[in-house]
Amino acid sequence: MSGTRTILHVDMDAFFTSVEERDRPELRGKPVVVGAPPDKRGVVAAASYEARKFGIHSAMPSRTACRLCPHAIFLRGDHEKYSRESERVMAILRDYTPLVEQLSVDEACMDVTVSLRLFGSGEHIAREIKRRVRETTGLTASVGVAPNRFLAKLASDLKKPDGLAVITEENKLTILRPLSVTRIYGVGKKTEPLLRDLGIHTIGDLERFPIEPLRARFGVWADELKARARGEDDRPVAPYCEPKSISNETTFEQDVRDRGQLERTVWELAGEVAGRLRAEGVRGRTVQLKLRWSDFTTLTRRATLAEPTDETSCLAQTALRLLRRELAADRPVRLLGVGAQNLERGPAQLDLFDQRTARKAQLERAADAVKAKFGEKKLKRGGTL
Amino acid sequence: MKIEVTKTEVLDALQQVQNVVSSRTTLPILSNVLLRASGETLELTTTDLDVGIQRKVSATVKRSGATSLPARRFFSIVRELPEGEIEIEVDEKNMAAISCGSSFFKIVGLPAEEFPALPKLEEGKHYKIAAANLRDMLRKTAYAISNDETRYVLNGIFMGFKAEKLTIVATDGRRLALAEQDLEFPKANEAEAILPTKAVRELEHMLGEKGEVQITLTENQMAFEMHGTEAEAAAGKGTEQEGTKVAAERKNVLLVSKLIEGTFPNYRQVIPTESKERVSLERETLLTALRRTSLLCTDTANSVKMHFTKNNLSIIAKSPEVGEAKETMVINYKGTDVTVAFNPEFLMDPLRNLDNDEVFMELTDELSPGVVKVNAPFLYVIMPMRMS
């Protein structure tokens, strides 16, 4: 990566709840939470700014959120709608550069370095994007403009909501120094306490800290940390990131002992994972089962297939084989997950002794098409009803 | 024990038996080769408890006896010795003194009594087949054996003795190779067995151009005994009494193997009874074209597309990160256009191991199995790859 880059980080403001508030004006200005209902297991997926004032944040158990703000409005959310809105936003971003890396449903970063001659400065593009997103979707986005991904993300956070901030080579140190080291990507639960032991609290502390004792503590990671503290980051924007694994899991509303229900759940999860594998055009060679007992002990079990698969029945049957080995008499299950790993691309070798598979695969592809047209819920496997 | 043997003979024997010896074993004696000298022969035996090989060579036995020596080390010593006679003398502590010309070695052995004896397969069903025929059948099929340990019944070859035929089948679930050979045996001897890969590999090594193999099949074991060609020539001479003695010694290689327990899948069921299109192809030309196109295959894009159109076959390999290869062949084809993708390795395997000039391919569509046939009792079924 040579020369100066211009990177934009676009982050939709309280995305899920904003979509709900846009469509249901009566919710505006109220604490809105999208996620699990407050009387059920599960977590908050998104909280409106009003709800955040009560200390509610995403990934918090809904029950806790309800305690913090009993009059909050809890919504299940319509994730298909959010995906549609997300796609409209991403389409706008791609008008400025093909180098758009979608980081999640409501977040993306883009490299506009080569687009500057066409569209003007990074700040100008950011303003354009904000305006067009508002006009097209009625939603607001916060955009950060900076010479790299780390600083761009940081900038997008500086003036939220509906913000626009520019970090340059000139002002980056002034902005970084007072911030907590936890704002550096890669500094989390493990590194932060170690830094704190050395008396390093802010990014400025880290920047000024001598390298040698840091190396003694962190090895090669020390140089990387120092570089980040100086606001350096040479990660490229990769428009498409090949998934390493695809998985899905579900927490039961009540712990489940019933084998039949567990097996139906495996089929549902496998079906969803297989659909995503096919949508990505990959097949998984390793099948993983995740199992959490009612006492929260969690185990994962893996099986490797002779030929990688993207078919529901193969995934489900492999996961069921793993499940049956673990199911102890009467031990209630809290969570089940099914995943595919060791993903491969390219043509699939068909099996001599399972020639129906090829036909089954055609059936599943047809089912994918029906689901794409009429929605996920319209077509289900007989056994899972 | 005290013997004299010629280097070439004992080296040849060691080469044959040492493959069975496992280098990592919990039972140290299994790394050894059992030596037993009596009469005019030295008998060399190795085993890994699943497969055992025994080879007899002629020797001047000065004092009969037995011991076991570390097979790999013994083999490497013999290999480096000068040509000529080797004298091996073993004391009661199993210390073996090996001398040859100006070289002298002493190696530590283990008592012969600790060596697990090969099972004696006296009772059982017997069959006889020309060594060259059996070797040929193995060559045409064994490459299709599965090495996926979760499908253990496929980790060997199926041998069916039925309807006056020996049928050998190997498959890994993606392709299947079948070879057949007429064989005379009483109806009561009809049987089937799955011989594990390791035994198949050893058998391929030991089968020569000449001679006959005696097969003995029991409930869970199979033995193959082979006649040496030199002994065979010698058997023609001498008195009747000498003849029988030589006949006994003629059985100079024995392989005994455990069988894979389980049921081999119903292979008849996956052989297409009829295909839509049939095309004749020159084996060498097709093999060369496949070998060239497969140069552009990768681990993740391991397929070639075959387009059959009127009097034309094009073979294409393509992968976004590597590039593209295309071979075109003029063929005699009048059928409908067919496009089908195969793993090129799977298609080259039979072509490499056949020697017919002409092969026939039978195809139906891009999801149905293809069949390779020749003008001989052989066929090969190959599943396509689903194009993405």
Chain B residues with CB-CB distance to A281 below 8 A: 388
Model-level pTM? 0.67
pLDDT reading at A156 higher than 60: yes
* pLDDT given for residue B188 in this prediction: 95
Banded model confidence at residue A348, pLDDT cuts 50, 70, 90: confident
Can you spell out the DSSP letters for B55-122? Answer: EEEE-EEEE-EEEEEEHHHHHHHHHHSPSSEEEEEE-TT-EEEEEETTEEEEEE-B-GGGSPPPPP--
A323-347 per-position pLDDT tens digit: 998 887 678 999 999 999 999 887 8
Distance between CA atoms of B167 and B122, rounded to whole angstroms? Answer: 24
Distance between CA atoms of B122 and B135, rounded to whole angstroms? Answer: 24
* pLDDT given for residue A346 in this prediction: 78
Q: Kindly state the tokens that stand for A28.
A: 């505006």
CB contact under 8 A, B369 and A353: no
CB contact under 8 A, B386 and A348: yes
Q: Kindly state the tokens that stand for B305.
A: 């597309």
Note whether B86 and B287 are within 8 A (CB): no
Q: Nearest by CB to B386, which of A344, A345, A350?
A: A350
**Hey, what domains does chain B have and what are their CATH numbers?**
2-114 (3.10.150.10), 125-267 (3.10.150.10), 272-382 (3.10.150.10)
* pLDDT given for residue A189 in this prediction: 84
pLDDT reading at A364 higher than 90: no
A36-71 per-position pLDDT tens digit: 888 888 889 899 999 999 999 988 999 999 999 999
* pLDDT given for residue A305 in this prediction: 87
Below-70 pLDDT ranges, chain B: 23-25, 227-251, 388
Q: Nearest by CB to B383, which of A344, A346, A352?
A: A352
Q: What is the bridge-based pairing of β-strands A141-146 and A164-166?
A: parallel
pLDDT reading at A258 higher than 70: yes
Q: Nearest by CB to A347, which of B150, B176, B388?
A: B388
* pLDDT given for residue B388 in this prediction: 64
- Mean pLDDT for chain A overall: 88
CB pairs under 8 A between A and B: 60
Interface contact B179, partner A, CB < 8 A: no
Contacts 24+ apart (CB under 8 A), B317-323: B317/B293, B317/B344, B319/A346, B322/B296, B322/B298, B323/B296
CB contact under 8 A, B173 and A344: no
* pLDDT given for residue A374 in this prediction: 66
Banded model confidence at residue A148, pLDDT cuts 50, 70, 90: very high
pLDDT reading at A377 higher than 70: no
At a CB cut-off of 8 Å and minimum separation 6, what does B310 contact? B333, B334, B337
HSE (side-chain half, CA atoms, 13 Å) at A261: 14
* pLDDT given for residue A191 in this prediction: 86
In degrees and rounded to multiples of 5, residue B223 shows phi and psi of -125, 145
* pLDDT given for residue B246 in this prediction: 41
Interface contact B171, partner A, CB < 8 A: yes
For residue A235, give the DSSP letter: P
Decide which of B369 and A361 is more confident.
Answer: B369
Nearest CA in chain A to B171: A352
Distance between CA atoms of A45 and A37, rounded to whole angstroms? Answer: 11
Burial readout A7-17 (b: 16 or more C-beta within 10 A, e: otherwise): bbbbbbbbbbb
* pLDDT given for residue B232 in this prediction: 44
Banded model confidence at residue A381, pLDDT cuts 50, 70, 90: low
Task: Indicate if A107 belongs to the active site.
Answer: yes
Dihedral sign for Cα B178, B184, B189, B195, please.
Answer: negative
Burial readout A132-160 (b: 16 or more C-beta within 10 A, e: otherwise): bbeeebebbbbbbbbbbbbbbbbbbeeeb
H-helix or E-strand spanning residue B279 = strand B277-282
Model ipTM value = 0.79
